[in-house]
Amino acid sequence: MVTLVSQENMVALVSRTGRHLQRYCMGRRQVVGCIPYRYSEEARELEVLVISSQKGNRMLFPKGGWEIDESKIEAASRETVEEAGVRGIIELELGKWSFKSKTHDTYYDGYMFPLRVREQLDFWPEQKLRQRKWVCKNSAFRCE
């Protein structure tokens, strides 16, 4: 007997790596990310999901490279699954910001989206590299 599994619910347990598919605009690497959120009925407030940085003990929102074979929304969704292990509904673009890397002498353009979380995965590509934590939105302002 053969059982067919829907691929739409499958998650690759390997993150994309390397820079060969990265988008650049005027010399700046293009990155995208999400601010995953949910409404906690128990706490009666909005919560956001933060993840630990791979370098140091800072907490941040999932983000990463926007690759040439993806739309901004596809890249933001992929990065959020890889780093935070959540899926959901991506909403309007919040905006663009430019920043300098803390570890490299290069500049980036970043785009962020809110993501209403619909599913929190038990297994995801970077689960052994990162911690994830739901915090109230006011606590997220204090995360570093």
Residue-level pLDDT at 138: 78
Residue-level pLDDT at 56: 73
Hunting for tokens 């941040």 — which residue is that? 60
Q: What is the pTM of this model?
A: 0.82
User: Is the residue at 88 inside a domain?
Assistant: yes
User: Is the residue at 117 inside a domain?
Assistant: yes
Residue-level pLDDT at 2: 40
Distance CA 123, CA 105 (A): 34
In this structure, is the dihedral angle defined by the CA atoms of residues 85, 130, 53 and 105, taken in order, positive or negative? negative
User: Is the residue at 54 inside a domain?
Assistant: yes
Residues of the chain with pLDDT under 70: 1-19, 141-144
Distance CA 62, CA 129 (A): 13
User: Is the residue at 14 inside a domain?
Assistant: no
Domains: count for the chain: 1
Residue-level pLDDT at 38: 96
Say if residues 16 and 82 touch (Cβ distance below 8 Å).
Answer: yes
Residue-level pLDDT at 16: 56
Distance CA 97, CA 79 (A): 18
Residue-level pLDDT at 65: 95
Residue-level pLDDT at 4: 36
Say if residues 129 and 54 touch (Cβ distance below 8 Å).
Answer: yes
Distance CA 109, CA 26 (A): 10
Q: Quote the domain boundaries for residue 53.
A: 21-140
Residue-level pLDDT at 101: 85
Residue-level pLDDT at 143: 55
Tokens of 82: 């890889």
Residue-level pLDDT at 76: 98
Say if residues 35 and 89 touch (Cβ distance below 8 Å).
Answer: no
Residue-level pLDDT at 36: 98
Residue-level pLDDT at 89: 97
User: Is the residue at 13 inside a domain?
Assistant: no
